[in-house]
Homo-oligomer: A and B are copies of this chain.
Amino acid sequence: MNFKELVKSNRSYRRYDEEYNLKREDLEYFIDLARMTASAANRQPLKYYLANDKETNEKVFETLSWAGYIEDWDEPKKGERPSGYIVILGDKTISKNYFCDPGITAQTILLGARDKELGGCIFAAINKKKLRENLNLPNKFEILYVISLGKPVEKVVLEDMNNNDIKYWRDEKQIHHVPKRGLKEIIIN
């Protein structure tokens, strides 16, 4: 798979084969990729909490809001949930402004996962108070994003956006369609 194919195949996957065993060493490999990325003024304020056992996964899962635009589907059912999570934290003792570091590391983790035939999704809609309690996260860490990870069992396709309609949708075969703006719309000169 060339790089463009990798980027294109790296969709936001929300249904997984929950039986897939995501190993701690796989998660550490992804963090090692994140560790090597650029960081604003090289401060490297991001820290990571890893989850890959059933009990901890459940503690993360219950704090996430899934796929806001799909009205008849609240969350993946049992058996289709992620095999693990990476919680991206900002260490406030290092910096209180993370610039674009979280996106850099999240995308690197997800491309790395896709390269291993896994997939994931970035969550910003998190019950952060509950997640902090559930994982016993010290206050010096700001909860920024959660990445779910697993073996995807859904098909996600990109399509051209019409009428400025940004809502992704699922068809009757449960294929997930994501409208994207065209190049001419996003390049302004």
Q: CB within 8 Å of B: which residues of A?
A: 2-4, 6-8, 10-12, 28, 31-38, 40-44, 46-50, 68-69, 89, 99-108, 110-112, 115, 121-122, 124, 135, 141, 144-145, 158, 166-168, 178-183, 186-189
**Total copies of this chain within the assembly:** 2
Given contacts A35-B183, A44-B186, contact A7 B112 (CB under 8 A): yes
**A141–B31 CB distance below 8 A:** no
- Residues from chain B with Cβ under 8 Å of A112 in the complex: 3-4, 7
For chain A, what secondary structure do more than half of its interface residues adopt (helix, strand, loop), or is it mixed?
mixed
A101 touches B103 (CB 8 A): yes
Collect the chain B residues with CB atoms within 8 Å of residue A179's CB: 42
Give 6 A-B contacts (CB < 8 Å), ordered by A residue. A7-B108, A40-B124, A42-B168, A47-B186, A99-B124, A100-B124
